[in-house]
Chains A and B, each alone.
Chain A
Amino acid sequence: MKVCRRSFLSLVIGGAAGTALSPLPWKLIDDSSIWTQMWPWTPVPEDGEVSHVNTVCSLCPGGCGLTVRKVNERAIKIEGMKGYPVNDGGVCLLGLSGLQLLYGSTRVKTPLKRTGARGEGKWEKISWDEAIAEVAKKLADLRAKGLSHTVGCIAGSDRGTVAHLLGRFLTAYGSPNFIRTPSMQDSYEQTMYLMQGAQASAGFDVENADFILSFGSGLIDGWGSPVRMFKANSALKNKGKLVQVEPRLSNTAAKSDKWIPINPGTESALALGLAHVIIKESLYDYDFVNNYSFGFDDWTDDQGTSRKGFKQIVLDEYSPDDVAEITGISYSTIIDLAKSFARASKPLAICGRGQGNTPGSLSEFMAVHALNALVGNINKKGGVWAVPDPDYIRWPEVEMDINAAKGMRANRIDGAGGKTYPDSRYLLNRFPEAVNSGKEYPIEALFVVGANPVYTLPDSRAVKEAFDKIPFVVSFSSYMDETAANADLILPNHIFLERYEDVPMPAGLQKPVVGLSKPVVKPQFNTRHVGDVIIQIAKAFGGGIADSFPWDNYEACLQETLGRKWDTLNEDGFWLDSNFRAPGWERAFDTPSGKFEFFPRTLAAKNENTFPQFSPVEPEGNEGRFPLILIPYDYMRLASGFIGDPPFAIKTVEDTVLKGNDILVEVNPKSGRGFREGDQAILSTPKGSVKVRVHLFDGIMPGLVAMPRGLGHTAYDEYLADKGINFNELIGTVEDPVSGLDAAWGIRAKLTRA
């Protein structure tokens, strides 16, 4: 037998025919297609019992209600809670990505103590008992030396039980240095106080307004309560107008009915110019102005000197011609804008640039607020409301011992409430300088809760220097953020999906609302509620300090504090003061005159030229050396607060903002001569130089460079760290002459070839 080539071929053909008639190929094809649907590396939620838990988000001041879908014990998806008074079913990108904060790699899993140099990333795991004992010992030593006032606390909020526990602890211990992180809330609170005499936050009835005049507020870029603003903005499309005044074509400007580019930093001049037109054309609300306001007409002060009123000053100094010159907006645009604003049935003027994360100039806030007063939409449907904090935390007074009383008598390190800035409550922007100069006293220990000042405060270098000077920094962060990375001790808090906490007053809401964060899942790691830790530290002291904290634990404290509201909160997820009505005009103003003060008397007594005046906040730097001006911009897909972008969110940032690891800065083609799209460049300001790429953009006014906030993290995980530049490295602070708050809106800069 000779096996020739033909026989072999025939074997193969026979084999092929047989195979085709067997199930083998067909089954393999089918199986491989099923295999592709089943890649074992694709994460798939397990099968099991589905449940939903309602909770409240505290990742930004928005305070949205959330509904979290769970399968068995695993949280699977975060959605907006239907019927919640803030967001009614909506959720933002950051809130949606909350699960990555819960299960992701940035969590601090157990108390950590630094072993290497600051920021080196060398940690030793310690037990909770050791951690608490260490903090208590350090604090006790300082107190024994009479240095209790040198302990500070930086917190993201001063509302709710956790903030109150922190404040209470400092009081009982003997330190006046509780400092809230800065935002437009500071300026609005002070505006409310000076012009209306109200200890209240500003609430904006955006849902009922029909003409919103926004001085750079990014309604759809994350201003105030972002999800609510998104919804209000969409609703406005059908029934009203949005006019956006800002030097850059932000997303909000692009979606508005009219974008008016303005020379940056001249917004208050425009507001006063609009007031001029409104007064001159007699378009203001007579009833409100004549019966419920003070300082509109000329008046006589306590010394008997006669003073010009708001009306006269504005008519004399802010004619449309003058204002056109200052702002770069045409005469006719100013006239038209003033008329359409005043003639709208519910006009509303708002300010606070971008997301409102910086306080800005107080006279700008007052000028914008004066516009609202002129059209009489204070405390009215569709207007600005003074909303008092829900008053449910009624704890007995702290019994201060001698040490505490002595400590509490010390001046605040940031100068808030002092001689220079009597009406300001917190001035964190002054903190780094105060620590670095050591003029007042050194800070020996610092607690940081719900904040990431090393990243979010302007002038990063000064902030870092200040932190280096503080010998004992304790971070309560759940994540390894920049502040935690530069701390000596990290006592990780549960994240918002693992803990109980009251979340009062969503930013900018015109009704008093308290939300309740509830544990959606069990704590995933060896973390502890910051409320519990404070109570435990207090108890470690014994004596009066321990007595001020009569609760066994935080949950007991919360339940007792909320009293009857507890059940409502647990069932509905929120408590709304149903008796609250628009405060109206009668008896609503607790100012020296009992009226709305166009010309705040308290200010006038101190300084005549503060308001209503446009006193430009000059950007730092020499024009000759730095021909351009750098301004920041906010953008919904970049979280720029104390939480950084989770991986889902950073993925959505387009490559005109971040390309690979390079940040792009926006430059008008006219100012960016010599640069092509995507070119590398060096951006320098008096504060430092960084490498960037250029994005030529017609939507930014010539002479400016715009940089997004929220990038340039050095901590967190590989998805976020080392991407782009932190704007705060390039800008310094400028103290507002009246409030002392940071009024900087930009800084001089230059762009050179890399």
Chain B
Amino acid sequence: MSTLDDKAKEVSAEAVDEAETESPTEVNEKKQDNGPWGYIILFFIIGFAASLVIGWGIFPKVLYSQKKQPIDFNHVLHVAAVEEGCESCHFFREDGSFSGVPKLAQCVECHEEVQGEDPNEAKFVEEYVAKGREVPWLVYSKQPDCVFFSHIAHVNMGKMECDTCHGHIGESTHSKVYEENRITGYSRDIWGKNIAGLKKNTWDRMKMDDCAECHAENKAVPKTVETLPWPISWMPRPYEKPASSQVRVQIDKDACFVCHK
């Protein structure tokens, strides 16, 4: 049995031992002083570099799964064949709502029979037209359920072009791969091809900040949504008006509910 005092003595004895054994090699140790630091830095760099590789390179690959559209669709071919351009298939309904992805009924108007040689065409007619099944198109621009977006307000009233948000999709000859976020179930097009979220074109991303950017630029009043100097999720709720005049988000009562239903 040892008392506290005993323990204290034992410890100090060890310390003396160590000091004694180390003293003869003192010179060598000084020479190698750079050694441990070198390793430390080396490991820091390894860790740093590896995580950058993971974060920038591997993570995006793992995060998104790659899906093919059920039918490879050629926009160019169709635009050339139809009379009213984009509106032939993507149009406003009578009540002003937008019919974005065409329903089978619209396709059937022309595709009751197989046309041409394309195997995609044959598959389309066989599997969908003949069976009366809707094609489960994957929608690149699908927003979360709580987001309310009115096409007519933007296209007819705001006079915006489709490609401002959707890019030059009308000029594609094949359906591009649909990359689905494994966590959210959303298309990569919402966050943007660039994993850092940087964009070159207006249509590269479709997040709230992108809406806000355009609204701020165009002073789309009265329900202006403007960019924040920080991510929107950092805002205190309910959104209060902070002292800084930098705040450029709509803070009117009910403003949030214009877009978030």
Contact = CB atoms under 8 A, between A and B. Distances in A.
Say whether A and B bind each other: yes
Interface of A: 1-4, 6-8, 10-19, 21-24, 27-35, 37-38, 40, 42, 44, 47, 49-51
B52 A34 contact: no
A27 B43 contact: no
Contact of B54 (A3, A22, A35): A22
A24 B54 CA distance: 8
B181 A23 contact: no
A458 B56 CA distance: 74
A27 B63 CA distance: 10
Interface string B173-194: 0000000010111100001000
Would you call the interface of chain A mostly helix, strand, loop, or mixed? helix
B181 A4 contact: no
Nearest to B186: A34
A721 B228 CA distance: 52
Most buried by A among B39, B63, B186: B39
Interface stretch (B92-100, B114-122, B164-172, B245-253): B92-100
Contacts of B185: 35, 38, 40
Given A27-B191, A38-B145, A17 B95 contact: no
A433 B52 CA distance: 86
B193 to A, nearest CB: 12
Contact of B41 (A10, A12, A32, A40): A10
B56 A3 contact: no
Contacts of B50: 15, 18
A653 to B, nearest CB: 28
Given A7-B39, A18-B55, A50-B95, A23 B49 contact: no
26 contacts: A3-B39, A4-B36, A6-B39, A7-B39, A8-B43, A13-B44, A14-B43, A14-B48, A14-B49, A15-B48, A16-B51, A17-B44, A17-B47, A17-B51, A22-B59, A23-B55, A23-B60, A24-B51, A24-B59, A27-B195, A30-B231, A31-B184, A33-B233, A35-B184, A37-B146, A49-B97
Contacts of A19: 51, 54-55
Given A7-B39, A24-B55, A44-B145, A13 B47 contact: yes
Given A10-B40, A50-B97, A22 B52 contact: yes
A49 B101 CA distance: 11
A556 B59 CA distance: 66
B158 interface: no
A1 B60 CA distance: 34
Contacts of B93: 49-50
A38 B144 CA distance: 7
A18 B145 contact: no
Interface string B7-50: 00000000000000000000000000000100111111111111
Interface residues of B, number: 40
B258 to A, nearest CB: 17
A31 B52 CA distance: 19
Contacts of B55: 18-19, 21-24
B48 A17 contact: yes
Contacts of A14: 43-49, 51
B70 interface: no
A1 B36 CA distance: 9
A26 B56 CA distance: 12
A34 B56 CA distance: 21
Given A6-B36, A11-B44, 14 more contacts: A11-B47, A16-B51, A17-B48, A18-B47, A19-B55, A22-B55, A22-B56, A23-B195, A31-B184, A34-B184, A35-B183, A38-B144, A38-B186, A49-B97
B196 interface: yes
A374 to B, nearest CB: 53
In the A-B complex, the 6 residue pairs with the smallest Cβ-Cβ separation, listed nearest first, are A22-B55, A14-B47, A18-B51, A15-B47, A14-B44, A14-B48
A471 B233 CA distance: 67
A317 to B, nearest CB: 63
A29 B185 CA distance: 15
Given A10-B43, A50-B95, A18 B195 contact: no
Contacts of A3: 39, 43
Contact of B39 (A4, A16, A31, A40): A4
A32 B54 contact: no
B183 A23 contact: no
